[in-house]
């Protein structure tokens, strides 16, 4: 009964005209950036953070969440039509989805992706609604030592699942932690790493860093490698499935939903791993594995269900523990902070309308996405013809104006340029900026809980090892790094991300 009353509160919040409108805008923009390869939800949310400052907290978070899971839907469109995934987690969809399109079955492929995504997203949201409250209640009992160890675990797992070199990912985490210490020390008031700039006394502006690292840097990279995109399918017909198609996709959709719901909770690339794991599982279970790679509908149904389920359950660690599962969640934590809300287990008890409103909006958003994706497929096909050199300058100008408007400080716009160049250099050096953002967001929380634990223990550093839960979390994090460095695991990991690229 408690769950039903909480969901009633959530729908009462989410179904206001304003929130439904911005949920629609969020999923529409998410679908759009999913369709346009090279932009993605991370860069888009970073660029749109400034405009959410004037929204109410629940409206802002509903819209940003919609962009994220909307991009999972949109990414499958380009994967199927032009063999170019709009989102990383849709890379595996292109394997069989594009072959179906070439065989004249683009309509059934797109319908499979949309219906599988809707089912998986709806079920995973129910799992989120059921699992989040008890986890949040458990988290409220964490002490400073346990919370510190949990944050360390999140960072270490994100390193082990990061794209590319583990050593480079570790370096990015450290750089992010260092950037998070810029500003006045909360306890002593001492300025740290400000280099004489008064604008840095309050710390580095999160929006400037996010827009620069994930917006401007990504634009530089895409302009460098832009290629002509030819749409091989100009008209899509028969946007429905036959009885035989429904029979073939039922099992993959169910299995993909289960896999994605579990793997989405993992820090790092859980949604990417979920789609690849689902494809691998379906190929092993199929009675006709030779069809995979040649247009097997199961190769679309399973991965699309998995990545959309993972997109929903990745909100579990965010809403219950205040820990981001990947860069998009780190940006949403930044949105919490911009709105003056401390993310974590207290949100459920202190702002239940916000907590349950976000969850309820996911059902609304998933329904809107089905309406958007299939009837408007012609529009999405036309969007693929927009040249990036026209699109990107407008995006940068819009983001810069929005960032300036938050504090009316030109220093924040200069910071966008600095972090944009830094982000581009890091990408060229083979360093993934995503762990840096996680380190930057979690750094202040890590420092705060480290200090609290040391004060409580009277300076005894063994407190992190003598408390059983804290020691277990640290051991688990160490095990993740050791496993990630094993040669066989490294080869598997590299294969997944090479295919994604």
pLDDT in tens, 91-104: 678 788 888 887 88
pLDDT at 20: 93
Lowest average pLDDT, out of 27-36, 263-272, 420-429, 436-445, goes to 263-272
pLDDT at 214: 74
pTM: predicted TM-score of the whole model, two decimal places: 0.75
Q: Is the confidence at residue 255, as pLDDT, over 50?
A: yes
Q: Is the confidence at residue 496, as pLDDT, over 60?
A: no
Q: Is the confidence at residue 501, as pLDDT, over 50?
A: no
Beta-carbon contacts of 473 under 8 Å, excluding residues fewer than 6 positions away, are 146, 149, 150, 152, 153
pLDDT at 437: 79
pLDDT at 229: 52
Lowest average pLDDT, out of 315-319, 472-476, 488-492, goes to 488-492
- Average pLDDT for 377-406: 71
CA distance to 7, 43, 51, 132, 318, per residue, from 13 (Å): 10, 28, 21, 18, 20
Q: Is the confidence at residue 145, as pLDDT, over 80?
A: yes
- Average pLDDT for 381-395: 69
Residue 430 forms part of a structural domain: yes
- Number of independent structural domains in the chain: 1
Lowest average pLDDT, out of 75-79, 221-225, 259-263, 453-457, goes to 221-225
Domain boundaries, position 461: 13-350+361-497
8 A C-beta contact, residue 337 and residue 94: no
Residue 356 forms part of a structural domain: no
SS3 191: strand
Catalogue the long-range contacts made by 457-466 (C-beta closer than 8 Å, 24 or more residues apart): 457/145, 463/145, 464/145, 464/148, 464/149
pLDDT at 16: 92
More confident of the two residues 467 and 163: 467
Q: What is the mean pLDDT of the chain?
A: 80
Length of the chain equals: 501
pLDDT at 499: 46
pLDDT at 484: 66
Q: Which H helix or E strand runs over 20?
A: helix 17-35
Q: How confident is the model at residue 192 (pLDDT cuts 50, 70, 90)?
A: confident
Burial class of residue 340, CB neighbours in 10 A (0-12, 13-18, 19+)? exposed
Q: Is the confidence at residue 368, as pLDDT, over 50?
A: yes
- Average pLDDT for 388-400: 73
H helical segments located in 186-263: 206-210, 217-225, 243-263
Q: Is the confidence at residue 495, as pLDDT, over 60?
A: no
Q: Is the confidence at residue 464, as pLDDT, over 80?
A: yes
Lowest average pLDDT, out of 17-31, 123-137, 335-349, 461-475, goes to 335-349
Residue 6 forms part of a structural domain: no
């Amino acid at each position: 009964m408690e769950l039903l009353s909480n969901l009633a509160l959530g729908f009462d919040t989410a179904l206001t005209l304003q929130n439904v409108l911005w949920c629609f805008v969020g999923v529409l923009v998410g679908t759009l950036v999913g369709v346009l390869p090279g932009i993605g939800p991370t860069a888009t949310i970073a660029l749109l953070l400034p405009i959410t400052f004037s929204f109410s907290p629940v409206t802002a978070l509903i819209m940003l969440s919609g962009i994220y899971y909307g991009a999972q839907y949109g990414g499958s469109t380009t994967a199927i039509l032009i063999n170019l995934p709009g989102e990383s987690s849709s890379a595996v969809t292109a394997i069989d989805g594009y072959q179906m399109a070439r065989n004249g079955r683009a309509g059934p492929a797109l319908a499979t992706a949309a219906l599988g995504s809707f089912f998986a997203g709806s079920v995973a949201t129910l799992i989120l609604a059921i699992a989040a409250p008890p986890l949040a209640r458990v988290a409220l009992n964490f002490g400073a030592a346990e919370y510190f160890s949990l944050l360390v675990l999140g960072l270490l797992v994100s390193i082990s699942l990061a794209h590319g070199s583990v050593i480079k990912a570790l370096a990015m985490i450290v750089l992010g932690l260092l950037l998070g210490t810029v500003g006045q020390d909360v306890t002593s008031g001492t300025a740290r790493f400000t280099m004489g700039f008064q604008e840095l006394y309050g710390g580095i502006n999160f929006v400037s860093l996010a827009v620069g690292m994930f917006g401007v840097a990504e634009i530089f990279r895409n302009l460098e490698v832009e290629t002509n995109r030819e749409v091989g399918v100009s008209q899509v017909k028969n946007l429905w499935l036959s009885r035989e198609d429904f029979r073939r996709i039922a099992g993959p959709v169910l299995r993909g939903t289960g896999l994605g719901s579990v793997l989405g909770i993992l820090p790092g690339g859980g949604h990417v791993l979920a789609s690849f794991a689902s494809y691998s599982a379906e190929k092993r279970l199929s009675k006709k594995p030779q069809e995979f790679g040649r247009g097997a509908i199961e190769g679309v149904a399973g991965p699309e269900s998995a990545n959309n389920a993972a997109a929903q359950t990745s909100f579990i660690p965010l809403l219950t523990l205040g820990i981001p599962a990947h860069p998009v969640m780190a940006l949403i934590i930044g949105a919490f902070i911009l709105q003056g809300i401390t993310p974590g287990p207290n949100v459920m008890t202190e702002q239940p309308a916000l907590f349950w409103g976000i969850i309820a909006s996911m059902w609304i958003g998933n329904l809107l996405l089905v309406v958007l994706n299939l009837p408007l497929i012609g529009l999405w096909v036309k969007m693929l013809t927009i040249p990036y050199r026209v699109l990107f300058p407008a995006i940068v100008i819009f983001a810069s104006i929005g960032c300036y408007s938050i504090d009316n400080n030109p220093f924040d716009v200069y910071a966008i340029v600095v972090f944009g160049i830094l982000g581009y250099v890091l990408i060229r050096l083979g360093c993934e900026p995503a762990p840096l953002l996680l380190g930057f967001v979690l750094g202040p929380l890590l420092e705060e809980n480290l200090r609290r634990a040391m004060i409580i223990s009277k300076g005894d550093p063994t407190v992190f090892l003598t408390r059983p839960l804290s020691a277990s979390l640290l051991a688990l994090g160490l095990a993740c790094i050791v496993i990630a460095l094993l040669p066989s695991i490294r080869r598997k990991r590299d294969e997944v991300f090479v295919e994604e690229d």
